[in-house]
Amino acid sequence: MQDEFNRLTQKSYTKVWPHHADALAEARASVADALILNPNTPSVELVEILIREAEPELARALSDTLTRRFYLSAMRSLRRKQVAEQYRLPGFEHLPREIPTRDGTRFALLDANYRRVREYYWSLKRHALDSIPESAKVKEAKALMQKMQKYARDEKGITVRQVLLLENKPITD
């Protein structure tokens, strides 16, 4: 079996960096050839042989390609999650769906009253002392706090949702 496999892994492989698609295609071809030549060998054993016997350039290109794919996938996944956690409130696009509270829990932004929005703003402000100019999130939290302050004077406990409805701002959940 080893002689057959050596023949399989000694296929010509260019010494220059292969294109990523070429590396994947060649790796897939190696897998297909290994399965044809060794139909009864367990997959785990074939994988170990393929790894051990792979051409260094192919292994490097494949590693780069798969590493790049992993990081891209992880970043895209996190960005999708971050976008999903954002409301699309007019003027408040950078504020999250839930804001942290003093006790470490999270509270729905739309259900937050003036006091909670104020606490959130000041916590952002404390953490953003180093960043000049202020981030969009800090500016939006301040604007929301000021908007709520107008209504909170007359109506204690008014929520973000109620203020936005009073101002005829559409809320998209």
The rounded distance, in Å, linking the Cα atoms of 24 and 66 is 9
Asked whether residue 171 is assigned to any structural domain, the reply reads no
Which of 30, 62, 84 is a domain's end point? 84
Whole-angstrom CA distances from 34 to 3, 126, 150 are: 12, 60, 73
pLDDT of 18: 46
Which of 84, 114, 148 is a domain's end point? 84
The tally of domains found in the chain comes to 2
pLDDT of 43: 93
Residues 66 and 108 in one domain: no
pLDDT(37) > 90: yes
The rounded distance, in Å, linking the Cα atoms of 43 and 132 is 56
- The stretch 151-167 carries a mean pLDDT of 90
Q: What is the pTM of this model?
A: 0.49
- The stretch 32-42 carries a mean pLDDT of 93
Under the banding of pLDDT at 50, 70 and 90, the label for residue 87 is low
Residues 6 and 34 in one domain: yes
Amino acid at 147: K
Residues 10 and 63 in one domain: yes
Asked whether residue 91 is assigned to any structural domain, the reply reads no
Q: Which domain holds residue 157?
A: 98-166
pLDDT digits (tens, 9 = 90+) for 46-70: 999 998 988 888 888 888 888 988 9
Asked whether residue 30 is assigned to any structural domain, the reply reads yes
Residues 42 and 107 in one domain: no
Share of the chain above pLDDT 70, in %: 79
pLDDT of 3: 53
Residues 77 and 7 in one domain: yes
